Structure 1
Amino acid sequence: MSKGFRGGAARRSLLGFGLAAAALPVSVVRAQGPALQVWKDPSCGCCEGWVRHMRAAGFEATVHEVADLQAVKAVNGVPDKLQSCHTATVGGYVVEGHVPASDVRRLLAERPRAKGLAAPGMPPSSPGMDIPGTPYEVILFGGGADRMWARH
């Protein structure tokens, strides 16, 4: 074998290793899913149901149990009329209440100018509540006029 051939093979191996190593962090990030921070009351079971829904959809949820959710909602700019039982943040957006994972994924993909999404109140048929048969709306808020984002 010539020295040039071995050097070329070594460079190709090193290049291949470098490309594989560079791809590794991206794969790890994708496997972990979007990071979701959730603030909820320690005794709220429906909030736990929503967190399970989000984790099942691939979100990496970190839960913060707090006694004063109003302070969290105020800091995150959630209007009184759109409030629910828990508040979350993901990708620079606020997610208020039982918003389905599919709506959050769409929000992250489309990246509209807005504060976030809200499922006001506690809609019975929403994820975590799981009582079928009651239609509800998810509202996009904080980008000017609030508007319906999805109807479920």
Structure 2
Amino acid sequence: MLLATALPSGSARAAQGTRVEVWKDPSCGCCEGWVRHMRQAGFEVAVREVPDMPPIKAANGLPEALWSCHTARVDGYVLEGHVPAADVRRLLAERPRARGLSAPGMPPSSPGMDMPGTPYDVVLFGAEGGDRTWARH
């Protein structure tokens, strides 16, 4: 259960009650940073620690070129890696016909990595017409 001491902001309110399930390696600290980012954005996050991530990624239909450290599911979509909460909110609002979003690799500027200055793309994958850039950060 998510407890807050103040009323959530508008962006957090939009995510309030939306459950995100995350699969991550038990020793990955940057994944914990992303989980904190998502919780601060108002998402309810359940973490599942697993020592072997490739089977999780394969079961979720993730192309290997888009892999990152953790894999998540939210409302029927797959999230791979350090996808910003704002991109997830947009995904849930627009509901494109696609498998999900990925921030391939481990972009240094992404939420949870928190080393500003390196631009990166978030990719919408599994869509009709192929994968495409969903957002640039």
TM-score range, shorter chain: 0.7 to 0.9
Q: CA deviation at 1:114?
A: 0.1
Q: Which structure is higher in helix share?
A: 1
Matches within 5 A, 1:22-37: 32-37=16-21
Q: Where in structure 1 are there 5+ consecutive unaligned residues?
A: 1-29
The ranges of structure 1 where at least 4 consecutive aligned residues each deviate by more than 6 angstroms after the TM superposition are: none
Q: CA deviation at 1:31?
A: 8.2
Identity of aligned residues (%): 74
Seen in structure 2, the aligned counterparts of structure 1 residues 82 and 31 have a Cα distance that, compared at 3 Å, is closer
Secondary structure at the residue paired with 1:150?
strand
Q: CA deviation at 1:143?
A: 1.1
Aligned to 2:115: 131
Seen in structure 2, the aligned counterparts of structure 1 residues 31 and 111 have a Cα distance that, compared at 3 Å, is closer
Distance in 2 of aligned mates of 1:35 and 1:136: 26
Alpha-carbon displacement from aligned partner over 1:33-72 (angstroms, at most 9, x marks no partner): 2100000000000000000000000000000000111011
Q: Where in structure 2 are there 5+ consecutive unaligned residues?
A: 1-13
Amino acid at match of 1:121: G
State the aligned residue count. 124
Seen in structure 2, the aligned counterparts of structure 1 residues 113 and 31 have a Cα distance that, compared at 3 Å, is closer
Contact 2:100–2:125 (CA<8 Å) still a contact in 1?
yes
Amino acid at match of 1:43: S
Aligned to 1:49: 33
Distance in 2 of aligned mates of 1:124 and 1:67: 23
Seen in structure 2, the aligned counterparts of structure 1 residues 91 and 81 have a Cα distance that, compared at 3 Å, is same
Amino acid at match of 2:30: C
Alpha-carbon displacement from aligned partner over 1:67-117 (angstroms, at most 9, x marks no partner): 111011000001000000000000100000000000000000000000000
Distance in 1 of aligned mates of 2:56 and 2:15: 29
